[in-house]
Amino acid sequence: MRNIQKPVRCAALRAMVSIAMALLFIPLLSSCAREQAGPAAGTDIVAVESSADGGFISLAPSDMSGYAAFENYDGELCFVDMTVEDILSLKEAGESFAFVATFSTCPWCNMILPALNETALQEDMQVGCLDTRKDPAWTSNLDITGYDRFAETFADYLTYDSNDRLHLYTPHVFFIREGEVADEHQGALPEIEDPNAVLSDRQEASLEEIFREGFRSMK
């Protein structure tokens, strides 16, 4: 179908940005954008070709300024906003991509995201950010638009809650290769019980290795 590299490389984006600007902003055929945390994030749009009719999904760099983990961070980030519709469209189109279900006040999310970000940068990859509190009306991960379709699609990787409903718990990272789940990781590390714990160097390295294997499973 479309000529999209799998997995998408950030180096390709920089070259294609220059071409697109010269061609009066023709949509880019790439999906990686890096921005610093803060209010400026989300101003540049990345277009990803994904639908069967050759249409595009526009992905904006995620604003991570609300995350305590990135409060004093001024380096690169490789997170882009994704909705359930974006994720399902890319998956159904057979694309390769990674995404994490997360929200800014989730302590477990703040624990693992720096390691995920660092590993993504090392692997020259992007990570879609499915923000389960993006709409102030969403008070549960199950409230996100399109949740039932999401739960049906990823049922094998979710767990049932006390109400016997498939539940998306955060953080949950998915690594998709050509439309299929190649690897996934939920939570932090089994040994960590305190959501406010500070990771040791060894635990940080363990998380980075888990994520590195996930990214490489997409290739």
Task: Dump pLDDT digits (tens) for 120-133.
Answer: 999 999 999 999 99
Q: How far apart are CA 212 and CA 96, in angstroms?
A: 15
For the stretch 27-47, pLDDT in tens is 332 333 334 444 333 334 444
Q: Name the class of domain 10-217.
A: alpha beta
pLDDT single digits (tens) 158-189: 999 999 999 999 999 999 999 999 999 999 99
Distance (Å, rounded) from C-alpha 131 to C-alpha 208?
22
Sorted by where each begins, the domain ranges of the chain are 10-217
Handedness of CA 183, 100, 78, 2 (dihedral sign): positive
